[in-house]
Amino acid sequence: MSQPIPFADTNFKLAVVQELMYGQELLPRFDLREYAAEQGFTYDGGSVEAVPEALAYFEALEVPAELAERITRIEMDGGNEIYLEIAPNWDGEDGLFDVAEFADVRHFPHLKSMTLFYTGDEEALEALRARGIEADWL
């Protein structure tokens, strides 16, 4: 197995893991209920906040570099499974999963399109487009 991808932005990583884990099923599927039972913790399923243990799981998750070529698009959406596994009742009304740093695109040579949560950062959108990535706000 190759080295893991060194992500600079956790939320960018989450968007990639969404595609690899729940979209392409190339990473073992994470289920918050099962994980909480295995690890012996409880959480508030009605909270819009991130469950710290779930977020820590994804922060520690290593994404093998050889999977980078499998990422051709990133679709951030409030209904994505990864977000609901981390914050079960998240409503998308805050910036909890907004990407702040886009340096990680360098790891994904085949990335051609991105739909992002709206942050208003037009410079980031233009920088992505300059790299040949179709980028738009959700």
Note whether 1 and 64 are within 8 A (CB). Answer: yes
pLDDT tens-place string over residues 17-33:
999 999 999 999 999 99
- Tell me the average pLDDT across 98-112: 97
Note the pLDDT of residue 92. Answer: 87
Is 13 a residue whose pLDDT tops 70? yes
Note whether 74 and 114 are within 8 A (CB). Answer: yes
Share of the chain above pLDDT 90, in %: 92
The Cα–Cα gap between 5 and 21 comes to 15
Q: Residue 83 phi/psi, 5° resolution?
A: -70, -35
Domain ranges (residues) in the chain: 10-137
pLDDT tens-place string over residues 41-89:
999 989 899 999 999 999 999 999 999 999 999 999 999 999 999 999 9
Note the pLDDT of residue 93. Answer: 86
Look over the chain and give the mean of its residue pLDDT values, rounded to a whole number. Answer: 96
Is 1 a residue whose pLDDT tops 60? no
- Tell me the average pLDDT across 113-133: 95
